[in-house]
Amino acid sequence: MAAHDYDSERWTSKAPPMRDTSLDPHHITGPIPTDYRQVKGWGVDLTNRPMYPMELPSNVMTARGEVRDWQVPQEKIHNSIEHPNLTPVFGTSCPPTGLSGRMRDYAYKYSEGTNRHWMTLVFADRVNMLESLFTGILSGKPDNWPAEKAWGTRLRAVDPARRVRFMAAGAAVVGAVALGIVLTKALSEDD
Amino acid sequence: MRAMTYRGPFRVRVEDKPDPEILHPNDAIIRVTRAAICGSDIHLYHGLMPDLRIGHTFGHEFIGIVEEVGPNVDNLKTGDKVLVPFNICCGTCYFCSRGLYGNCHNTNPNATAAGAIYGYSHTCGGYDGGQAEYVRVPFANFGPEKIPEGISDDDALLLTDACPTGYHAAQMADINEGDTVLIFGAGPVGIFAARSAWLMGAGRVIVTDHLDYRLDFVSRYGPAEVINFTHLKDPIVYFKKITDFLGPDSAIDAVGCDASGSIYQSLLGFKLKAQAGNAVAMHWAINSVRKGGTVVAIGAYGPPMNLFPLGSLFNKGLTLRGNQCPVKRQLPRLYEHVRNGLIKPSEIITHRFPLEDIAEGYRVFTSKLDNCIKPVIIPDRAAA
């Protein structure tokens, strides 16, 4: 049998050129020893891991197991329809109120597998925020957005030169608006 | 009592609220001595979790002193100093009895998909959290643990969530000796996942983020190789390139729904609220990991849907794991690691704020100001 003519027009024993595999200049290697086994604590949990096996053996075969005492609701508690009944304990923060509360009532009629459930809750959260703006004013505790958002902290962290530019731009906008109002009034008086 | 309250996206304030009461014989009331703001509190702060009601008090990382116990609580007494794992769990239901304390079926009436968590919206049970002077702790005969000898208060605080969660992520990554582990996110959980990956026997640990100061920290704390992904034209190609075009053996998404890095995902998740936040870290994890590899979701995602590369998951034969960390399962081993100096949780604490200044704490942490990695909140009555 004739010797195989390995390289031809159709194939070759030479691999195509490899792409560059060098590290990016921003890639930083921490103080890692050449032999990674020298890293402090290396391998101490190679075979000793608290989550193995993931599930521990158990003979409890019902969802709730044995429950002796049940918390009694003092206000409306929403309960997923995927639960067999109300859980033995539950949180009592912020009972549902107002329009957002009614929206939450509606959402909890649907299972956790439905967009109707989750998106109604997301929307109710926004309605709840609007409600709180009004109830805050009525109760004498109005929202204080600059303090609640810590604008001062944010502003202090901005680079001083940028802060000056930002404040100058703000002053220019306020000045332009004020000038516009004055001119508009002056022109309307002329008419 | 004084307590942090949520007022709407990006707004929190401290208000007077009624003191919590014993509502079940297994309850305890804890006076909070230290609380932390967790990276997952940021998802709440941004208004991304459904059923997040105005007036809710956040805070699932806290330690404190037992003030009062219900008649069935026999393992704690008034005056005990305890750390409280973030999972509210009964210890006896189908899931708890199997050690899945993050999936307790008896504590969250609002959802079956999520376990109950202190101060984490009504989707997680509607419990007020620990960024307050006092907090109600259900099933106190099972959840809280007396802080053991040799564990400082700051270490104990970090052992309620961030440290065990990072450790849990490394376990779920199924690391074999010499494996390459890629971690997305250099926040507290990513930092602890990097440290833990070495304990599990990794051969190479790489962390990526967009914040240089955090990458600098984890490069020394892990230690780890670090790369700021904003310098990369295509992060996925880069991660393939530096792993001999195989991809890392495991990829850990320690970011969750508040990721940066994709205008498209941000538009859908943040601006239009058409999906549960921005899932770009999960996309990158699935697309960069090697075929047959393991992807871990440990950064928090809300229950509503996300656009998700299911085709890549299928075609690459990946294992995808995610779960809330069952803290109590991890604590005995972590106490040993802390005592032996293999993990030093408190080293990641960078800031401390009085409870009254919590709005500033949230702003500093959220906007990544002043090189913040982990802020701690100290209520006025902490030393009472």
Q: Where residue B274 sits, what CATH number does that domain have?
A: 3.40.50.720
The mean predicted confidence, pLDDT, of chain B is 95
In this structure, the answer to whether residues B48 and B148 fall within a common structural domain is yes
3-state secondary structure of B353: strand
Q: Judge whether residue B212 has pLDDT over 80.
A: yes
- Measured CA to CA, the distance from residue B258 to residue B210 in angstroms comes to 13
In this structure, the answer to whether residues B29 and B106 fall within a common structural domain is yes
Chain A residues with CB-CB distance to B122 below 8 A: 78, 91, 93-94
CB contact under 8 A, A121 and B9: no
> Nearest by CB to A93, which of B128, B216, B340?
B128
Nearest CA in chain B to A153: B360
pTM of the model: 0.92
> Nearest by CB to A50, which of B51, B139, B333?
B333
- Mutation target to probe the A interface, by most A beta carbons within 10 A, among B5, B10, B11 is B11
DSSP-derived pairing of the beta strands B28-36 and B375-378? antiparallel
In this structure, the answer to whether residues B6 and B79 fall within a common structural domain is yes
Do B281 and B255 touch, CB atoms closer than 8 A? yes
In this structure, the answer to whether residues B8 and B157 fall within a common structural domain is yes
The tally of domains found in chain A comes to: 2
- At B53 the pLDDT is 98
Burial A101-124 (b: 16+ CB within 10 A, else e): bebbeebbebebeeeebbbbbbeb
In this structure, the answer to whether residues A98 and A83 fall within a common structural domain is yes
- Measured CA to CA, the distance from residue B116 to residue B103 in angstroms comes to 8
CB contact under 8 A, B329 and A121: no
Q: Is residue A62 part of a domain?
A: no
The tally of domains found in chain B comes to: 2
B1-13 pLDDT tens trace: 999 999 999 999 9
B342-375 pLDDT tens trace: 999 999 999 999 999 999 999 999 999 999 999 9
Please count the other Cβ atoms lying within 10 Å of the Cβ belonging to residue B60: 28
CB contact under 8 A, A145 and B232: no
Q: Is residue A86 part of a domain?
A: yes
Q: Judge whether residue B40 has pLDDT over 80.
A: yes
Residue A58 contacts B, CB cutoff 8 Å: yes
Over range B60-88, report the average pLDDT.
98
Q: Where residue B364 sits, what CATH number does that domain have?
A: 3.90.180.10
Q: Is residue A7 part of a domain?
A: no
Structural domain including A80 reads 73-142
Boundary of a domain, candidates B286, B306, B322: B322
In this structure, the answer to whether residues B172 and B218 fall within a common structural domain is yes
In this structure, the answer to whether residues A125 and A82 fall within a common structural domain is yes
In this structure, the answer to whether residues B312 and B339 fall within a common structural domain is no
In this structure, the answer to whether residues B343 and B217 fall within a common structural domain is no
In this structure, the answer to whether residues B174 and B89 fall within a common structural domain is no
In this structure, the answer to whether residues B315 and B367 fall within a common structural domain is no
CB contact under 8 A, A60 and B93: yes
Residue A26 contacts B, CB cutoff 8 Å: yes
% pLDDT > 70, chain B: 100
DSSP string, A102-135: HHHHHHTTS-TT-HHHHHHHHHHHHHHHHHHHHH
- Measured CA to CA, the distance from residue A27 to residue B230 in angstroms comes to 12
In this structure, the answer to whether residues B101 and B213 fall within a common structural domain is no
In this structure, the answer to whether residues A159 and A116 fall within a common structural domain is no
In this structure, the answer to whether residues B29 and B96 fall within a common structural domain is yes
Q: What is the pLDDT along chain A (191 residues), one digit of tens a residue?
A: 555 667 788 888 899 999 989 999 999 998 999 999 999 999 999 999 999 999 999 999 999 999 999 999 999 999 999 999 999 999 999 999 999 999 999 999 999 999 999 999 999 999 999 999 999 999 888 999 999 999 988 887 776 777 777 778 888 988 998 898 888 888 887 66
In this structure, the answer to whether residues A136 and A84 fall within a common structural domain is yes
In angstroms, the separation between the Cα of residue B312 and the nearest Cα of chain A is 23
In this structure, the answer to whether residues B221 and B255 fall within a common structural domain is yes
Structural domain including B285 reads 165-322
| Cβ under 8 Å to B: A residues 62-81 | 62-69, 71, 77-80
> Nearest by CB to A21, which of B200, B241, B337?
B241
Dihedral sign (CA A23, B210, B334, B295): negative
